[in-house]
């Protein structure tokens, strides 16, 4: 199994680009909660061990990696709300969150490595899209970890406010128990009204 490395970043450094930010988002598939993005500029002299695509790490390892990344790297975190997702569509909202995360970086990056096959519209910086980037680039892997841990913690907090939907375990994804709770308990302000399971219930109401 291949591991992400720093090759793409080093190639950018050889072109004279200094601050290289990996950018990733999490939360396109859920039917509840925000979409969250992170941008991370790793210190080439102090790259944390154990970075990988957040989906390949256990929750315990993600939390440990998150702490190390936050302590050793430049990090920007941002979100798009449920209302913005419903207004723009999820892809556009994810891209907006990515650009907000880049803008939140404490250092202005020289180049962006964007996870996926598209560079966000109106991206003001030099950027390249990296398909399955969280498995190729350590900077994108770090961004995937920060975004995932941040969003999961948001959903745990929301689960306390709206018990019964299981957001602390399903993170807002349409699990069988979540959809069942949606039908029995109704739609909350944190549900995405443009997503089919929620839209269908609202249409029946």
Q: Which two tokens stand for residue 205?
A: 């109401």
20 DSSP assignment: E
Q: Which two tokens stand for residue 183?
A: 């039908």
CA angle 74, 104, 118 (to 5 degrees): 95
Instruction: Check the annotation: does 168 bind a ligand.
Output: no
Q: How far apart are the first and last CA of the chain?
A: 48
DSSP per-residue codes, 117-169:
S-PPTT--S-EEEETTGGGTBHHHHHHHHHHHHHHHHHHHHHHHHSTTS-HHH
Instruction: Check the annotation: does 115 bind a ligand.
Output: yes
Q: Which two tokens stand for residue 150?
A: 């941040």
Residues 130 and 123: their CA atoms lie apart, in Å, by 15
Instruction: Check the annotation: does 87 bind a ligand.
Output: no
Binding-site residues for a divalent metal cation, in ranges, read 24-25, 115
Binding-site residues, in ranges, read 24-25, 115
């Amino acid at each position: 199994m291949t591991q992400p490395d720093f090759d793409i970043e080093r190639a950018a450094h050889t072109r004279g680009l200094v601050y290289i930010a990996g950018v990733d988002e999490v939360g396109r598939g859920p039917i509840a909660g925000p979409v969250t993005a992170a941008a991370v500029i790793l210190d080439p002299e102090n790259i944390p061990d154990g970075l990988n695509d957040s989906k390949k790490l256990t929750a315990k390892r993600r939390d440990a990696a998150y702490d190390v990344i936050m302590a050793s790297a430049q990090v920007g975190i941002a979100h798009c709300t449920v209302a913005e997702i419903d207004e723009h569509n999820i892809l556009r909202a994810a891209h907006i969150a990515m650009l907000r995360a880049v803008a939140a970086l404490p250092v202005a990056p020289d180049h962006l490595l964007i996870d996926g096959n598209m560079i966000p519209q109106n991206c003001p910086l030099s950027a390249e899209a990296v398909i399955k980037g969280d498995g190729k680039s350590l900077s994108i892997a770090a961004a995937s970890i920060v975004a995932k841990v941040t969003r999961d913690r948001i959903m745990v907090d929301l689960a306390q406010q709206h018990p019964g939907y299981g957001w602390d375990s399903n993170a807002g994804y349409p699990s069988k128990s979540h959809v069942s709770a949606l039908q029995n308990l109704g739609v909350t302000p944190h549900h995405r009204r443009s997503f089919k399971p929620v839209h269908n219930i609202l249409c029946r109401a």
